[in-house]
Structure 1
Amino acid sequence: MPDYLATLQRDGFVVIPSLLSPSEVSLLRDAATKATILARSGNWPFFRTVPKQFPPWPNVAPPASEGGIWGVQHLLHPDMPGRTQFANFYFSEKILTVVEELLGVGTAQSTSSRSTQKGGEEQEELLVMELFNLLVAPETRDFELRWHRDDVPETVPSDEELKLLEAKSPNGRQFHAQYNLALCPDTSLIAVPGSHRRVRTETERNADPYESDMPGQKIVKLEPGDAVFYDSNILHRGVYKHKPEGNGEETRLTLHGSVGLQGTDGKVRATAVLQHGVGKWIDREDAAMHAGERAEKMRRNLIAMGRGEDVGYSLQG
């Protein structure tokens, strides 16, 4: 088996080809297309809007002539029509096995987290349900994200930047695993390999926020079914090409998820997750996960984070 953790620690990201079969991709692509149409038509209230990069996003999507939306939020919400398909993927062994490796959850720990001790004593689930969203192509205009790290403001000086990077990835490991899984060919993610372990160079610090040719940058190319797991504090950006005029098919459908590790960085991780509003619905009576016992335990771990009032936002813009 490839050493995904070693690659992630070295480069800041690791591409896993063909994580899903063509039939699995087809099923999820259908559900994702329906979710996108629902959001674009104004019948789903949770989305990411052009040209805003970070939450909070407006409650009303801009018209298609202004770009519309670039993401659909809360695929695991109890009111999402495709929730079953999305939950079966998010809580699948294919995903969680990779997550466990990247988070350093050992075989004995992960096995016990899914079962019970002799005598019926329930074991603690180590993983936490976090976010599961969808990234899509804007309708009429291209949209770009500026260079950033997900949880380190670009305004901090070098010494503070280093402290934050070390605190968020002690001994080279993060407290969560974050990924993009493509349902269409995708070249939207651009990252600077190795930048998750160092402060920005003077060139990077002084570059245009939308610099198209950052030294050392790499375009991450994904085919349908491929996934990239990446350190959220690698220096990265996104470039979203709009749908070609007259093309009814969606040209970008990328599942964007994160899974956390219980009992780690407290308020910092709570802010990163709850700033998206997931805490406002995850404890609803109809929000129980019907994707196995482990899924429900992971949901309860998220509920324990709180509802998210006054947690603030990681980044602005």
Structure 2
Amino acid sequence: MPESYRSTLQKNGFVVIPSILSDTEVSSLRAIATTATNLARTGSWPHFRTVPKQFPPWPSTPPPAAEGGIWGVQHLLHPDMPGRAEFAGLYFSEKVLSVAEELMGVEGDRTPDESLVMELFNLLVAPEVKDFELRWHRDDIPWDVSADEEERLLAAKSPGGQQSHAQYNLALCEDRSLIVIPGSHRRVRTETERNAEPYEAYLPGQLVVELKPGDAVFYDSNILHRGVYRAKEEGGEESRLTLHGSIGLKGDGKSKVRATAVLQHGVGAWVQRGDAAFGIGERAERMRANLVAMGTGEDVGYSLKG
């Protein structure tokens, strides 16, 4: 029998799920994702990730294309985002939420006491003119901690491999950008990994996650990983459009740590707006209410810097 998604994630730190989206869905989402990217590139959408900065906060003005421009578009669920309804339809869809529930060990939740939390939904894109790389990292654990502290933090954040959130990349174009070291989410770094250069091109055991349009990879955010972003051709079509989302689990005892990881991106500034309701069913609103309960994000700080 094939392994479950959850057992594969716990063993390897990631699991690839093919064809979550149909070709028709990919085509439709690629069109609105391209629109969102164009708005961000021209400064008409103020929420983006800028080259060469890896972690928030990012500047409010996109760098010139010659300097790389942007590598991500933030807040696809924002009330002012064109295409928001279609983005929300995917984020809150059964095909995505059911995988998140399995990975976090949650049975189908249809009660008023919703256990899932709306978190982040962003877009990863190709920089312009020149390539861009992310350094090796874990999302919630600083790189300079000692081996003992690293072991403690890994155990605290994913006890027994149990995650408090489900994080994923869903490709709308072919994507070979994510590089992971399988199994590294369950152990401290080796001496080779600890002493490696930040942008080391190869570490023993690394694997390039290959996604076709419509495929998704769900991964433990504290697996050792980095990203390699190949520049798109000047004036050409977008060569990378990858939806980057996360879904949380309420009441897991790590709410403060998770609040920092989520609210550092600024989602708390708009999720309580009067026009922030999605109008697509009660579950989306219960999940949004769970995010609102996290707070506005003031003074939460940042998980990582740089």
Relative to the length of structure 1, the TM-score reads 0.95
Deviations 1:144-169 (A, max 9, x none): 00000000000100000000000000
Amino acid aligned to 1:309: E
RMSD: 0.8
CA contact (8 A) 1:289 1:299 kept: no
1:160-175 equivalences in 2 (<5 Å): 160-175=149-164
1:50 and 2:46 are equivalent in the alignment: no
1:59-208 equivalences in 2 (<5 Å): 59-106=60-107, 110=108, 113-115=109-111, 123-208=112-197
Amino acid aligned to 2:96: I
Q: Which runs of 5+ in 2 are unaligned?
A: none
SS in 1 for 2:27: helix
**Quick one: which of 251, 255, 274 aligns to 2:239?**
251
Deviations 1:68-123 (A, max 9, x none): 000000000000011001000000000000000000002xxx2xx324xxxxxxx2
SS in 1 for 2:37: helix
SS in 1 for 2:272: coil
Deviations 1:238-289 (A, max 9, x none): 0000002342x10000000000000121110000000000000000000012
Distance in 2 of aligned mates of 1:290 and 1:254: 25
Q: How many angstroms does 1:2 deviate by? A: 5.0
Amino acid aligned to 2:279: H
Distance in 1 of aligned mates of 2:148 and 2:231: 39
1:307 and 2:296 are equivalent in the alignment: yes
Deviations 1:185-219 (A, max 9, x none): 00000000000000000000000100011110000
Moved over 6 A (4+): none
Amino acid aligned to 2:89: N
Amino acid aligned to 1:59: S
Deviations 1:213-239 (A, max 9, x none): 111000000000000000000000000
SS in 2 for 1:19: coil
Partner of 2:259: 270
SS in 2 for 1:290: coil
Amino acid aligned to 2:174: P
SS in 2 for 1:35: helix
Aligned-residue identity in percent:
72
Relative to the length of structure 2, the TM-score reads 0.98
Amino acid aligned to 1:243: K
1:3-22 equivalences in 2 (<5 Å): 3-22=4-23
Instruction: Work out the number of aligned pairs and report it.
Output: 304
Q: Which runs of 5+ in 1 are unaligned?
A: 116-122
Distance in 2 of aligned mates of 1:144 and 1:280: 29
Deviations 1:22-64 (A, max 9, x none): 0111111111000000101110000000000000000111011
